[in-house]
Chains A and B, each alone.
Chain A
Amino acid sequence: MAGFATLSQAWMAWDGPAPAPEDAVLDHTKELEKFLAEVERRAFRIAQVSLRDEDDALDVVQDAMLKLARNYSAKPSAEWRPLFYRILENGIRDLQRRRVVRKRVMAWMPGPKEDPDEEAVDPMENVPAGGADAPALLMQDQAMRQLEISLRALPARQREAFMLRNFEGLDVAQTAKAMACSEGSVKTHYSRAVHTLREQLGEVW
């Protein structure tokens, strides 16, 4: 058996790279925590806009965090953002697929039809609390609701492009990675989304 100059070389020959020193692991964990803390709230709102359900959005974000940590945390941190949003968008699409299939299966079932996703929304649920800024907050809240309604009416890819570019602030290349498409497609989807949203919201905004 050939001799190894260092323990690290011996480890690599046996089973991949040597374990990182403790300090490096700690730094890496801190970096990952910082990244997740930075994106988690915006990711939740993006999921919520698409799924129209708070708990589903929380589940999808949690799943995306776990998958990123489990499968991609060893990647350079500069790659985490598009990867995270790619996982998130896949999760959102999976959930939407499940809803579609469930709806179809429910339509097959005997008896009265109920759609768990069509729960009545309490119009007072998200009204901001009173105070000096209450009217301004209310107007802000209404404007955001209008935007959400218009976003949900967009084709899924246009909605994704708009939210990743505008809400999350990804550049075209990062958005293309997150959406698994070309940069040209991102530009097209985004431009169409903005055009449609402007047409719908221009008057009332």
Chain B
Amino acid sequence: MSEQSSFEEHGRRLFEASVENLDMRVRSRLTQARHAALDVSASPRLRFLRLPVWSSAAGVTVAGLLAFAIWVGGPMGQPHHTPTVADTQAGFEDLELVAASDENNAAPMEMLQNDIDFYEWAADKTAAGDSGNVG
């Protein structure tokens, strides 16, 4: 066995051991999730109840505008500071992650839709000009 495959084998064994040692709470949650999925598979498909699918082009545009607004603007209530190279690089990596779109996936629009409660809360908080604790 080569040195590389021995290294890979060691990693795989460690991973398998960590899988075997999963606690009962996690195992139970996974079993529940599996049963929920099987229920879905066994029940007839109700296509008419599905939410409308956003057009991916519109989704990317809106998400892009939102991302641009957030990235270009600075944080509120913080003294201005000149961005460092590390700041800029981290910002680009984050932007790449957010803007990336996957095949078979409505991202990033779906991602924004899923978090709609959070954005409503954030908008309320900002509008109220709350200077107290956040979270």
| Chain A residues close to B by CB (< 8 Å) | 25, 28-29, 32-33, 36-37, 40-42, 44-45, 54, 58, 61-62, 65-66, 68-70, 73, 86-87, 90, 93-94, 96-98, 100-102, 104-114, 116, 128, 140-141, 143-144, 147, 156, 166-167, 169, 180, 194, 197-198, 201-202, 205
Contact = CB atoms under 8 A, between A and B. Distances in A.
A101 B100 CA distance: 13
Contacts of A40: 30, 33-34
A54 B37 contact: no
B51 interface: no
B41 A205 contact: no
Contact of A58 (B26, B104, B111, B119): B26
A44 B135 contact: no
A68, A69, A112, A147: which has the most chain B beta carbons within 10 Å?
A: A69
B75 A107 contact: yes
A interface majority secondary structure: helix
A105 B14 contact: no
Given A107-B75, A194-B4, 8 more contacts: A36-B37, A65-B36, A90-B102, A101-B112, A104-B70, A109-B76, A116-B135, A144-B18
Contact of A45 (B10, B22, B94, B125): B22
A61 B104 CA distance: 17
A111 B8 contact: no
A112 B37 contact: no
Given A110-B131, A140-B14, A194-B7, A33 B38 contact: yes
B42 A29 contact: yes
A68 B111 contact: no
A177 B11 CA distance: 23
Interface in B97-124: 97-98, 100, 102-105, 107-108, 110-112, 114-115, 118-119, 122
A184 to B, nearest CB: 18
B125 to A, nearest CB: 6
27 contacts: A33-B34, A41-B27, A58-B30, A61-B33, A69-B37, A90-B107, A97-B97, A98-B114, A98-B115, A100-B98, A101-B67, A105-B118, A105-B122, A106-B134, A109-B134, A110-B130, A111-B133, A128-B21, A143-B14, A144-B15, A147-B11, A147-B15, A156-B97, A166-B8, A194-B7, A197-B11, A198-B7
